[in-house]
Amino acid sequence: MDACDKCGNPQIIINRKQSGQMLCQDCFIEFIQEKVLKDIRRQKLIEKGDKVLVALSGGKDSVMLLHILNNLKKRRIIDIVAVTIDEGISGYREHGVSIATQNAEMLGIKHRIVSFKDYIGGTIDEIMKNSSDRNACTYCGVFRRWILNQVAREEGATKIATGHNLDDEAQSIMMNYLEGNIQNLTRIGVRSESSYEGFTVKIKPLREIPEKETALYALACDLPVHLAGCPYAGDSFRAKIGTFLKQISQEHPTIMYSTLRGFDKIKPVLKEEFSQKGSMGVCEECGEPAAGKFCKACSFRKLWK
Ligand code: SF4
Ligand code: ZN
């Protein structure tokens, strides 16, 4: 009869096809927490004394990340501030904001809610009403990164932690390969760095946890999470790649890990050959790093004003 590989409990909740492990609920929770904290140590993502800004959408990934990082806060290794960005997507974001607030309050973590309206002067819904040439995610991602950088500086954060999981990262790699965006590929990784002094290092502590397991973790720990999908997500190229990778993983359960491992091996070569060495300047409008006169966020703001 099947039983948990760690404790022998016959009530297993997961059969991890990629590793052959079968785990019960308690052992799965412990395994995930240990794996994330081990990945953080192994990859030196966090140091003692860091002030970590956690991008908390209220979704399963960022909620799980906040709860796991809280272990380091409780041990006084780091300080945490959570930030929720309200993009202004009506009927969707309101619930995420209230779930994020609930989680931050539960853990006693400082929580800021910042909006596209306040930082860029308009909502995603308004932008999409006036724009037909790009999909919502293109604007949303650029503005979100821009706002995160601003908030990190306002808070004096030394790291920005996001809840990107294995599926997200494999999608980013595949999307950029298929579109031939080699410059973008050179920026994908567990940690983003820049020599620009106003730039806060971004880290992805859940990068090696499959989405299926972040969902199961939230369920097993009974965490309050926002499960609804963004109404704009269906349009995106990312969503199509996500579906493709999920399908192929059914027959090849390690495919997303191998996508990641292969990419991490060739990345130093890509960086050597293709990264924009020394060509980054500073945006004339906002002072953020920029390849040209203006950063991407400020170029978009101009189009839409
Ligand atoms: Fe923004 Fe796209 Fe995510 Fe919706 S799916 S929140 S539009 S990036
Ligand atoms: Zn700018």
Q: Which ligand is nearest to the CA of 294?
A: 2
The pTM of the whole model exceeds 0.75:
yes
* DSSP states of the chain: ----TTT--S-EEEEETTTTEEEEHHHHHHHHHHHHHHHHHHTT---TT-EEEEE--SSHHHHHHHHHHHHHHHTTS-EEEEEEEE---TTTHHHHHHHHHHHHHHHT-EEEEEEHHHHHSS-HHHHHHH--SS-HHHHHHHHHHHHHHHHHHHHT-SEEE----HHHHHHHHHHHHHHT-HHHHTT-SSEE--S-TTPPEEE-TTTTS-HHHHHHHHHHTT-----PPPTTGGG-HHHHHHHHHHHHHHH-TTHHHHHHHHHHHHHHHHHHHHS-TT--EE-TTT-SEESSSS-HHHHHHHHH-
Per-residue pLDDT at 278: 59
Per-residue pLDDT at 179: 95
Residues with Cβ within 8 Å of 101's Cβ and at least 6 positions away in sequence, in order, are 84, 111, 113
Work out the number of other CB atoms within 10 angstroms of the CB of residue 250. Answer: 9
Q: Which ligand is nearest to the CA of 235?
A: 1
Ligand 1 atom with the smallest distance to the CA of 229 is: 5
CA of 138 to the centre of ligand 1 (A): 8
Pocket residues for ligand 1 (CB within 6 Å)? 87, 124, 136-137, 140-141, 230, 232-233
Per-residue pLDDT at 305: 60
User: Hey, what are 101's tokens?
Assistant: 């607030």
Per-residue pLDDT at 282: 86
CA of 52 to the centre of ligand 1 (A): 23
Per-residue pLDDT at 235: 62
Per-residue pLDDT of the chain (305 residues; tens, 9 = 90+): 789 999 999 999 999 988 899 999 999 999 999 999 999 999 999 999 999 999 999 999 999 999 999 999 999 999 999 999 999 999 999 999 999 999 999 999 999 999 999 999 989 999 888 776 678 888 999 999 999 999 999 999 999 999 999 999 999 999 999 999 998 899 999 999 776 777 899 999 999 999 999 999 999 999 999 998 898 887 678 889 999 999 999 999 999 999 999 999 999 999 898 876 656 788 999 888 888 899 999 998 876 66
